[in-house]
Structure 1
Amino acid sequence: MFEGLFSKAYYNNTILEWTIALVLIVATVIFAKIIYLAVGSFLKKLTKKTKNEFDDLLVDMLEEPIVFALIILGVWYSLQTLNLSTAAEEIIGRAYYILIIFDAAWMLTRLMDAVVEKYVRPFVTKTDSKLDDQLLPLLRKGIKVSIWVIAILVALNNAGYNVGALLASLGIGGLAFALAAKDTIANLFGSFTIFIDKPFEVGD
């Protein structure tokens, strides 16, 4: 009975093959969860024994993106066991690369946060100038936005979109937006000038 049931084919794969792929996906998620809890806890205990605090911060920042990467790889491998159509394989392949790109961007932003918290922020707080204290959050957000913009552009290119044409259209749209918002931009530059000249500071 079960042999006949599992031998039935749907979308070029038997029920047994679909079941194996599903079990592999579930096992991947469970394994990633175990890695997150057990290995993460072990690494945290290990890094706490060192004098360097950067490794503690690095583990905290990178453990989630690394676990997510393991899930992506596991799901991709599970789907490779199936006999899929060319169109389905193309969609899965593109989705896989897009998720890897986004995970890499997530990892880079987390790594940047670790570097900022460990090295940049302590250095900035020791300086006499208040300007760097106020600029640091802006620069931090700017770098994060840049990383994600690059990741999105690479992902769109991988998905088959003409990124060059898209950027050109955005350039025209941006010009129209700038003309419509010229007063707002002027006010923004005025605010930035006040910020640089520092006639007053936060808390005054």
Structure 2
Amino acid sequence: MQQVLDLSFAGNDVLAWARAALWILGAVALMKFLLPVVIRRISRWAVGTTTHLDDAVVKALGAVRWWMVALVALYPASHELALRAATTRWLSSLATVAFFLQLALCASAFISAWFINLRQDSLEKDPSTTSALSILNFVSRVVVWAILLLLLLDNLGFDVNALVAGLGIGGIAIGLALQNILGDLFASLSIVLDKPFQVGDFVVIDDFSGTVENIGLKTTRLRSLSGEVLVFSNGDLTKSRLRNYKLMKERRIPFTFGLTFDATPEQIEQVPGAIQKVIGAQTQARFDRAHFTGFGGSSLDFEVVYWMLTPDYTAYRDVQQAINLGMMRAFAAIGVEFAFPVRTLVVGKQNPLAVSLAQTSGAQAAAHGVSPGA
């Protein structure tokens, strides 16, 4: 037995190799047997809780890979052996890379699970925040990977300060090259944080209008009233003048009409009251005012204002139709008619210009005592 223990391989005895192997096999055994038990226990406990933290922890533990743990175990294992300095440094670097890569995978899985659970909750409470959570999920994971990458390089012996300075110069060049893309990315964050509009809102942008379907990292998509999809870059949206009808609590509706000139003052006095009754019969509308505003070119002009109690555009069109029909019935009962443009043509046998000239010349001759026929 002692002879076996005294055997040497690559300058290390059997006990040294056994201790090194024990580190690696022990780490793999923990991964294969202990970690699944821990995950099952936390999963059962998470079922009875309302927090998302335990669910995210389960996802993070599920992202652990046994072969990465084995590579991490190379670090303590290498210190059990008398190896060349270059070999020890190489094994230590490999273990360091595996450690930070595994840490990044677990952190990324934790963040993704956290935001996915929040997104599912938001679908029930506030669907408009789903796009914001997706963007924050992406940005958070990018930040985590960037931080862990810098920590990895620092542990490998690289000059992180010089690297950051170099990245700053390179970042300026990349930023100039990707100015539009980065501008749209930051514009999407601005939209998410400031919330000028959300998914489901009906908006008007310049000559285009539609319902917001998706707010992405670079573009926002709208569904127009005619059915096609309108795609806008987020940078353009933040620079545009935008009207959001979803944020409107009430809709103010003004409209005008005209009645014929043969209406009597007594009939005109009845018109505002009749309009008030018609609008008051609509449960989704509130009467504001109705006035006889003046005399038009071919009509007696009226102006009416009422408020829609809902921002729904379809409801507004339905109410306006009901008001129009009610006005027609009410005006028929009063005895007044809607006016329309009228043009009167006077047709005679004689040329009006010739008659006017003849009358003028006759008047001048009479003034001089001369007969027109002379």
Change (3 A) 1:51 1:78: same
Structure-1 separation of matches of 2:54 and 2:185:
40
Alignment equivalent of 2:151, drawn from 151, 154, 166 = 154
* 1:7 matched residue in structure 2: 7
* 1:174 matched residue in structure 2: 171
Structure-1 separation of matches of 2:187 and 2:34:
48
Once the two structures are superposed, residues 92-149 of structure 1 have per-residue CA deviations (whole angstroms, 9 ceiling, x without a partner) of 3444344333333333333333433445652575237x2x321210111101100100
Change (3 A) 1:7 1:115: same
CA RMSD, Structure 1 to Structure 2 (Å): 3.9
1:72 touches 1:96 (CA, 8 Å); kept in 2?
yes
Q: How far has the Cα of 1:179 moved from its partner?
A: 3.2
Structure-1 separation of matches of 2:49 and 2:186:
46
* 1:105 matched residue in structure 2: 104
Structure-2 separation of matches of 1:38 and 1:190:
43
TM-score using structure 1 length:
0.71
| Structure that is richer in helix per residue | 1
Larger deviation: 60-69 or 157-166? 60-69
3-state SS in 2 of match to 1:160:
coil
Once the two structures are superposed, residues 39-65 of structure 1 have per-residue CA deviations (whole angstroms, 9 ceiling, x without a partner) of 4334433444x3446465144213235
Equivalent AA in structure 2 for residue 146 of structure 1:
V
Structure-2 separation of matches of 1:162 and 1:20:
34
Kindly tell me the number of residue pairs found equivalent between the two proteins: 199
Once the two structures are superposed, residues 5-36 of structure 1 have per-residue CA deviations (whole angstroms, 9 ceiling, x without a partner) of 971331x3236633553354234313311123
Identity level (%):
20
Verify: 1:138 aligned to 2:149, yes or no.
no
Structure-2 separation of matches of 1:8 and 1:94:
26
1:24 touches 1:78 (CA, 8 Å); kept in 2?
yes
1:97 touches 1:155 (CA, 8 Å); kept in 2?
yes
3-state SS in 2 of match to 1:133:
helix
Q: How far has the Cα of 1:156 moved from its partner?
A: 0.7
| Structure that is richer in strand per residue | 2
Structure-1 separation of matches of 2:185 and 2:134:
18
1:32 touches 1:71 (CA, 8 Å); kept in 2?
no
Equivalent AA in structure 2 for residue 90 of structure 1:
R
Structure-1 separation of matches of 2:25 and 2:53:
31
Structure-2 separation of matches of 1:114 and 1:183:
31
Structure-1 separation of matches of 2:45 and 2:186:
51
Once the two structures are superposed, residues 59-110 of structure 1 have per-residue CA deviations (whole angstroms, 9 ceiling, x without a partner) of 4213235675864664433333212333333343444344333333333333
* 1:40 matched residue in structure 2: 39
Larger deviation: 166-175 or 104-113? 104-113
3-state SS in 1 of match to 2:212:
coil
Verify: 1:201 aligned to 2:212, yes or no.
yes
For residues 68-147 of structure 1, the aligned pairs below 5 Å read 71=70, 74-119=73-118, 122-123=121-122, 125-127=124-126, 130=128, 132-147=129-144
Change (3 A) 1:61 1:8: same
Larger deviation: 22-31 or 68-77? 68-77
2:75 touches 2:95 (CA, 8 Å); kept in 1?
yes
